[in-house]
């Protein structure tokens, strides 16, 4: 009788717990939707839409604004995007991740005593990707001029009232910032005072960055005056950043502070327009960038989860949580060993990793009763008709790192997200990052350098595909998402948060598809976080069995999970923060979800 009562209670919770009033209202729009990590940046997107821009124009304006606001990135970071082109009915991938510079080798970093590249400073930098990504998206798929799209960001560089989150982050990191002269000059306007960072609401000015943006617009203007097309003029701004006087000052400032980036590194780097990878989950096509980021993890997980009746388990029941955790363990173990830059050898077995047959094999390897702390990479090679050349490395893989180590705060390494859609059918999902506070600013450019180099490994035994090499992209965590149903956009969604990103996005997607939540409910819903994968930052720690639950999880679920071998901790908000757009084709409108987790904000019309 007691067990029947418990089952009934779980059933009620699984269908009604999340159906509470959300802390933020769902957004509705008929003409366009603009969502990103800061209210002012969402306003920049809305301004762009109101001036006649499409979703790509608005997304680029929001990307520029967030980069200017250091939310949690800068202009020297990297940009990853998915774009739905309504003219072709195709989803396009944008690869604007920087590369390791000349001289960045395992031997160089090992000679300096590093087990992994450093977390901060000029030696953590890959080449800037965000300017190139923004300019490429705007040139190829936008409609407006660079001058118009950058106008809000330029106004902000001239001076904007800084918000408390960024201002306090600067103050908390000021000792690191003081080691870099150009960063100190920008970030700390009150040197010698008790608070050296700006205060919340203070007008934060970035004269050097404003000049850099002005030079890019000037290059566009001169090209237009010379009779060049809109696209050619935007690429003239691209050339000035990566090959002209902006590049020269960036390189000078980088090398002056001990960095490795050269003019040749900037000139040779380019943006790739790619075909994303996808899987089908119950008739929904889910698109992700390929294995130069962690994105395929979510597709691998969905392929495995097809073998379970998740809805019958109940939302956040112990069985549901255990199943998610074990599936994520296997998918992330594959990420940690097999993912890397597809433009460098060896060739990653992505076809095998994403095959439905491989997913079935991985499910057979799951422990359905207890957590498996030794869950490791599988062997996808037979599922693409090949023999695995790295079987010897897999034998001792779990011995290389692991153990019960502390979870580094940078596991949740912040960034921002950008979501935009318009009535003509353009949809954009971006997860930009890099160059976050405390960033080392390169000379008088106002551009903070990326810290993404730390995501490489220096030892091929950990991941033979992601070993540091000049000109190579590190396997990053950044992972925008898009889903189509019946050949039309269904969901566009992304989240910030380092190694937790595809964990949160997987659960958001299931919240909508399996449990019937709307986008705002799904964005606020209680998620779980695993730490059993290898941290992509710092010392690449792992903590098998560690599990963060929402405070709302009931005692009996906690007891059952502990009996399965989990080490639990709890948090009040465990949702992301996630931003998303749902396409309501029945009514011809958009539903927007903007997380209640931080300062994320959306505007629709």
Query: CATH number of the domain that 302 lies in?
Result: 3.60.20.40
Mean pLDDT value of segment 485-490: 98
CB environment 369-401: b (16+ within 10 A), e (fewer)? eebbbebbbbbbbbbeeeebebeebbeebbeeb
Q: Which pLDDT score is estimated for 11?
A: 43
- The verdict on 479 and 514 lying in the same domain is yes
Cβ atoms within 10 A of the Cβ of 51, count?
Answer: 14
**C-alpha 369: how far from chain center:** 32
Q: What is the pLDDT of residues 430-455, one digit of tens each?
A: 999 999 999 999 999 999 999 999 99
pLDDT category at 125 given cuts 50, 70, 90 is very high
- The verdict on 328 and 379 lying in the same domain is yes
Q: Which pLDDT score is estimated for 407?
A: 57
Q: Distance (Å, rounded) from C-alpha 371 to C-alpha 384? A: 29
**Residue-range definition of the domain harbouring residue 311:** 275-414+475-604
Q: Which pLDDT score is estimated for 563?
A: 98
Q: Which residues pair with 579 in a beta bridge?
A: 494, 594
**Residue 293 counted as domain residue:** yes
At a CB cut-off of 8 Å and minimum separation 6, what does 129 contact?
77, 78, 79, 96, 97, 98, 269, 271, 434, 450
**Residue 4 counted as domain residue:** no
- Report yes or no: 384 and 355 within 8 Å, Cβ to Cβ: yes
- Token pair belonging to 544: 């098998």
- The verdict on 145 and 293 lying in the same domain is no
Q: Distance (Å, rounded) from C-alpha 294 to C-alpha 288? A: 9
Give the CB-side neighbour count of residue 443, counting CA atoms within 13 A. Answer: 17
**Residue 419 counted as domain residue:** no
| Residue 526: C-alpha distances to residues 313, 468, 518, 583 (Å) | 16, 37, 14, 23
Q: Which pLDDT score is estimated for 8?
A: 37
Domains in the chain: how many in total? 2
Q: Which pLDDT score is estimated for 586?
A: 97
Q: Which pLDDT score is estimated for 174?
A: 98
In this structure, the strands spanning 567-571 and 546-550 are parallel
Mean pLDDT value of segment 46-67: 98
- The verdict on 266 and 283 lying in the same domain is no
**Residue 30 counted as domain residue:** no
Q: Is a pLDDT exceeding 90 seen at residue 489? A: yes
- The verdict on 564 and 429 lying in the same domain is no
- The verdict on 449 and 493 lying in the same domain is no
Question: Containing H/E element for 151?
Answer: helix 146-158
Q: Which of 278, 343, 386 is CA-nearest to residue 95?
A: 343
Across all residues in the chain, what is the average pLDDT? 94
Query: Cα-flanking dihedrals φ and ψ of residue 270, to 5°?
Result: -150, 160
Q: Distance (Å, rounded) from C-alpha 458 to C-alpha 461? A: 9
Q: Is a pLDDT exceeding 70 seen at residue 517? A: yes
- The verdict on 516 and 541 lying in the same domain is yes
Mean pLDDT value of segment 216-227: 98
Q: What is the pLDDT of residues 384-404, one digit of tens each?
A: 999 999 999 999 898 876 445
Q: Which pLDDT score is estimated for 20?
A: 61
Share of the chain above pLDDT 70, in %: 94
Q: What is the pLDDT of residues 158-212, one digit of tens each?
A: 999 999 999 999 999 999 999 999 999 999 999 999 999 999 999 999 999 999 9
- The verdict on 259 and 284 lying in the same domain is no
Q: Distance (Å, rounded) from C-alpha 339 to C-alpha 127? A: 20
Q: Is a pLDDT exceeding 70 seen at residue 2? A: no
- The verdict on 297 and 247 lying in the same domain is no
- The verdict on 390 and 430 lying in the same domain is no
Mean pLDDT value of segment 349-356: 98
Gyration radius of the chain's alpha carbons? 23
- The verdict on 333 and 203 lying in the same domain is no
Q: Cα-Cα-Cα-Cα dihedral of 105, 107, 108, 112, to 10°?
A: 140
Q: Which of 248, 287, 290, 242 is CA-nearest to residue 267?
A: 242
Q: Which pLDDT score is estimated for 565?
A: 98
Mean pLDDT value of segment 352-378: 97
Q: Is a pLDDT exceeding 60 seen at residue 16? A: no
Q: Which pLDDT score is estimated for 197?
A: 98
Q: Which pLDDT score is estimated for 1?
A: 41
**Residue 492 counted as domain residue:** yes
**Residue 463 counted as domain residue:** no
**Residue 70 counted as domain residue:** yes
Q: Which pLDDT score is estimated for 21?
A: 87
pLDDT category at 412 given cuts 50, 70, 90 is low
**Residue 542 counted as domain residue:** yes
pLDDT category at 5 given cuts 50, 70, 90 is very low
Share of the chain above pLDDT 90, in %: 92
| Burial (CB count <10 Å: 0-12, 13-18, 19+), residue 201 | exposed
Query: Cα-flanking dihedrals φ and ψ of residue 575, to 5°?
Result: -100, -10
Q: Which of 74-78, 374-378, 411-415 has the lowest mean pLDDT?
A: 411-415
Q: Is a pLDDT exceeding 60 seen at residue 139? A: yes
- The verdict on 252 and 391 lying in the same domain is no
Q: Which pLDDT score is estimated for 14?
A: 43
Q: Which pLDDT score is estimated for 405?
A: 56
């Amino acid at each position: 009788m007691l067990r029947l009562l418990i089952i009934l209670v779980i059933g009620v919770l699984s269908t009604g717990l999340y159906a509470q009033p959300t802390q933020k209202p769902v957004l509705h729009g008929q003409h366009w939707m603009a969502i990103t990590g800061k209210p002012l940046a969402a306003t920049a997107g809305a301004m762009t839409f109101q001036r006649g821009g499409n979703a790509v124009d608005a997304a680029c304006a929001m990307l520029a604004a967030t980069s200017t606001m250091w939310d949690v990135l800068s202009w020297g970071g990297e940009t990853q995007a998915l774009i739905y082109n309504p003219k072709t009915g195709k989803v396009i991938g944008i690869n604007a991740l920087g590369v390791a510079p000349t001289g960045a080798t395992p031997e160089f970093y090992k000679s300096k005593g590093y087990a992994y590249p450093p977390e901060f400073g000029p030696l953590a930098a890959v080449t800037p990707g965000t300017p190139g990504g923004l300019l490429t998206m705007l040139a190829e798929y936008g409609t407006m001029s660079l001058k118009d799209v950058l106008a809000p960001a330029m106004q902000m560089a001239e001076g904007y009232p800084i918000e408390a989150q960024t201002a306090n982050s600067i103050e908390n990191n000021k000792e690191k910032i003081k080691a870099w002269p150009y960063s100190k000059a920008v970030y700390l306007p009150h040197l010698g005072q008790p608070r050296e960072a700006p205060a919340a609401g203070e007008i934060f000015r970035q004269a050097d960055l404003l000049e850099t943006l002005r030079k890019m617009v000037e290059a566009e203007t001169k090209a237009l005056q010379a009779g060049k097309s809109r696209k050619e003029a935007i690429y003239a701004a691209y050339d000035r950043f990566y090959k002209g006087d902006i590049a020269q000052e960036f390189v000078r400032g980088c090398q002056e502070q001990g960095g490795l980036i050269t003019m040749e590194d900037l000139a040779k780097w380019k943006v790739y327009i790619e075909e994303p990878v996808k899987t089908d989950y119950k008739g929904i096509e889910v698109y992700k960038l390929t294995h130069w980021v962690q994105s395929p993890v979510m597709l691998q997980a969905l392929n495995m989860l097809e073998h379970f009746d998740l809805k019958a388990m109940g939302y956040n029941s112990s069985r549901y949580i255990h199943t998610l955790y074990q599936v994520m363990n296997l998918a992330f173990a594959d990420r940690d060993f097999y993912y890397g830059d597809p433009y460098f050898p060896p060739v990653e077995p992505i076809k095998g990793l994403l095959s439905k047959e491989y997913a079935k094999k991985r499910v057979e390897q799951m422990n359905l009763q207890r957590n498996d702390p030794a869950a490791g990479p599988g062997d996808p090679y037979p599922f693409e008709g090949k023999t695995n050349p790295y079987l010897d490395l897999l034998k001792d893989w779990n011995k290389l790192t692991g153990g019960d180590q502390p979870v580094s705060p940078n596991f949740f390494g912040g960034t921002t997200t950008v979501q935009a859609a318009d009535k003509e059918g353009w949809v954009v999902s971006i997860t930009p990052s890099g160059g976050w506070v405390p960033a080392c600013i390169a000379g008088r450019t106002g551009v903070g350098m990326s810290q993404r180099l730390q995501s490489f490994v220096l030892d091929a035994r950990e991941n033979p595909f992601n070993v540091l090499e000049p000109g190579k992209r590190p396997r990053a965590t950044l992972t925008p998402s898009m889903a189509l149903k019946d050949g039309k956009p269904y969901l566009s969604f992304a989240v910030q948060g380092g190694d937790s990103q595809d964990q949160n996005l997987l659960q958001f997607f299931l919240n909508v598809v399996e449990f019937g939540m709307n986008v705002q409910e799904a964005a606020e819903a209680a998620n779980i976080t695993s730490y059993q994968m290898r941290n992509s930052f710092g010392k690449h720690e792992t903590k098998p069995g560690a599990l963060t639950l929402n405070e709302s999880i009931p005692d009996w679920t906690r007891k059952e999970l502990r009996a399965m071998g989990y080490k639990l901790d709890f948090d009040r908000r465990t949702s992301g923060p996630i931003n998303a757009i749902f396409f309501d084709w029945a009514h011809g409108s958009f539903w927007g979800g903007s997380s209640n987790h931080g300062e994320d904000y959306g505007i629709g019309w």
